[in-house]
A and B are shown apart, each in its own frame.
Chain A
Amino acid sequence: MIQNVFSGSKRYWAILAAWAVLVAVGAAAYSVQFTDGLTVTGMSRDVSWGLYIAQFTFMVGIAASAVMVVLPYYLHDYKAFGRTVILGEFLAVSAVLVCMLFIFVDMGQPRRIVNVFLHPRPSSPMFWDSVVLFGYLILNLVIATVTIEAERQEAPPPRWVRPLIYLSIPWAVSIHTVTAFLYAGLGARPFWMTAILAPRFLASAFASGPSLLILLALIVRRFGGFDVGHKAVRTLATIVTYAMVINVFFVLVELFTALYSAIPHDVDTFAYLFTGLEGHSALTAWTWVGDGLAVVCTVLLVVPAVRRQERFLVPLCAGVIMALWIEKGLALVVAGFIPSPLGMVTEYAPTVPEVLITVGVYAVGGFVLTALYKVVLSVRGRLQSA
């Protein structure tokens, strides 16, 4: 099975080479950060988490969303997802890998990262997040490789993998719940300290993840000759629609609670996001673009005639990903630090090295995803031609 990774068309190698170049650029930028410290980033005393932790948060959602294909297929025997499941699982594997790398590049003392397991403190959500992410990576890697290997041998998957599949369903929910708890348990940060954060994370995950999966499935169909089927794409689009509606609803619920109660420390952060605070408005344009996109995409997705046409679905999925990336991969983490506990409004903007490292980490994900999807295409392609 693994041998499929090492043979392929020129296009396959070109894609891998392109990812590798980006990885190399990111690695070069990381070596600068490793030497000089996190001073090379835009983070500061007041905004002490930035792009890395925000990307981590966004990508946990992408990873968790595999459950949206696994659950219908395995629990409800929804046959239309037969060809999508493996794409979802391998997407989850790459996404978790990216999450772990984002945590790693954010560490001030990366060489000590094993301390999380050598000296674990169970009261820390970060410890539990490491545990569930590792578990999720292993679960998906085992499940996906075992099922594709069985398929290659044209045999049914071994029985022992079934309980693992069932376990992976609540496990997917757990990774994003624990990630939300990382934020929601902090009395110091009123913007994050909301009981709806975990549900909100899950809703946005189940919109952004399947959106990405639709785009990937269409790319794979066009360039890899592997068709997941119209029905699968349609069902995924329906899942995206419901998740987006719920996500927009959750955001409105948050806004109501903060703005109607009008408690200053709850209002301040929303004021910073939507109007700017004390003359600082770096995220205002992003917020309006993100929320505008979210509303427009949701409204259009709700219309079946629009959603069912691929020429509309593709930009809508891209719009959903963009909107939720702004919401979770940018605004949510940074805005939580504004204003600071000492009432300061310090803004944050990533630096060039920080952006390059971020691109590099995503490129690792892209590289791994390309290789894993190549395995799927080779195995399935051989079966189809046989």
Chain B
Amino acid sequence: MLGAQGPVFGRMKELALKSGSWGATLQVRVYVDERVAAEDFKAGQCDAVLLTGMRARQFNAFSGSIDSIGGLPDYPSLKRLLETLTRPEAAALLTQGNYEVGGILPLGAAYIFIRDRRINSVAKMAGRKIAVLDYDKAQLRMAERIGAQAVASDVTNFAGKFNNGMVDVVAAPGVAYMPLELYKGVGTKGVVLKLPVAQLTFQLLLHKDKFPAGFARQSRQFLLADFDSYLSVIKAAEEDILFFFPPPDGDAGKYEDMMREARISLTREGIYDRRMMSLMKRVRCRQHPANAECSDSREVTP
């Protein structure tokens, strides 16, 4: 998924080929550290950048909130949301200052990986060490909420910390499982909780003034057209996950409630965008209208 031979890089190369017909030619440059890529983009050394949704949040709070805790429960919901965002009326929301979102790709649901399956409830996570990406305030707040010890990490070292026992818990997408050998950290005593805690995305950000009018809209549609093929790669990766179990019977609702309260709190704090939370609630309730949250007005922007 992620490497130079993976579908994401392949699609970026296709985008670069196609871009000429939309009035701007792209050259693709590969970075090993997305923090550096984001900084170079900010400094104007690149006109566009592909970042994880959490990192993209600084450039567009609305789209960067797609990756929120418990925001979308499944892939059909994500696809429905992304289709909604290609509508003309969503275009203004995908522009923030001189930054415009040129496309959003699925990276896969984030799941909780635990070294010891006896940590079988939120309460038992208190006091345990959890790796959090140091640039994502939401993860830090979540760790605080559940009473866990946050261990600042980044995408290059969180897996190593989990596998060698420096942390007890990490969140990661299925596509990271084999390449980062997360099965070593789970071992035969751990578990991977089959409950999406976030839908992770890649987002293409553009310096709006560097591209002709309409470029971003075409780019968004182009990248969305391949949603199902990215999803097949993601699902194939999830098929490899050992000890991949849903929460113990009766506990799924507690996790969902906990994530919902966290999301509401983080929105109140300004970390998540209120408009995206409202949109995602409409998507969730369209897919699953019987859910309890669908009968209250929380997370709805009038």
- Does B bind A? no
Which chain A residues have a beta carbon within 8 Å of chain B's beta carbons?
Answer: none
Which chain B residues have a beta carbon within 8 Å of chain A's beta carbons?
Answer: none
